[in-house]
Amino acid sequence: MGLSKLQNLYMAVVTEHSKAPHHYGKVEGETISLHNPTCGDVIFLSLKYDQDVISDIAFEGHGCSISVASSSMMTDLVLHKTKQEALELAHIFSEMVQGQQDDRQKALGDAAFLAGVSKFPQRIKCATLSWNALTEVLSEE
Ligand code: ZN
């Protein structure tokens, strides 16, 4: 795939998630809110567990298309995962947007499309906001 085709696909996936985010709303459970002062992004994340598994998750907030798309992708990905799996995915995502490449990034689903953010340092915080919120809330116990 040429660079421009990949670029178009990236734009299409990000746009789709930011215009119609998945899992937008609130669930009864643990909550956390984080904001990214650099860009003004705000996220309110709520999630519910069934024993060790994330049985429901939702987010609300506002922000740039990257932060909203990333939240949508993150909630898609970690729903029905164990806490440990979700923390591992957040770690892989964080490495990816900082420019590291490795095979485990295939596990990120649509979120793998955000790898290009590593070229725009001021957008990295937009992309990682929801993942940081997830890591914080999962690490609380
Ligand atoms: Zn942003």
pTM exceeds 0.75 for this model:
yes
Task: Name the percent of the chain lying above pLDDT 90.
Answer: 85
What element of type H or E holds 56? strand 53-62
Give CA–CA dist 34/5, Å, rounded. 34
138: pLDDT confidence band, cut at 50, 70 and 90?
A: very high
Sequence ranges of the domains in the chain: 3-139
Give the mean model confidence (pLDDT) for residues 20-27: 98
pLDDT at residue 2 tops 70: no
- Is there a contact between 49 and 55 (Cβ–Cβ < 8 Å)? yes
pLDDT at 110: 93
pLDDT, tens digit, 9 for 90 and up, residues 32-91 = 999 999 999 999 999 999 999 999 999 999 999 999 999 999 999 999 999 999 999 999
Of 80, 101, 83, the C-alpha closest to 92 is 101
- Ligand 1 centre and the CA of 121: distance in Å? 11
Determine the distance separating the centroid of ligand 1 and the alpha carbon of 18, expressed in angstroms. Answer: 12
pLDDT of residue 85: 98
Contact 70, 108 (CB under 8 A): no
* Predicted pLDDT at 10: 83
Indicate whether 95 pLDDT > 80: yes
> 14 alpha carbon to ligand 1 midpoint, in Å?
13
For residue 135, how far is its CA from the centre of ligand 1 (angstroms)?
19
For ligand 1, the distance from its centroid to the CA atom of residue 23, given in whole angstroms, is 19
| CATH numeric code, 3-139 | 3.90.1010.10
Contact call for residues 17 and 73 (beta carbons, < 8 A) = yes
- Rounded CA-CA distance 46/60 in Å is 9
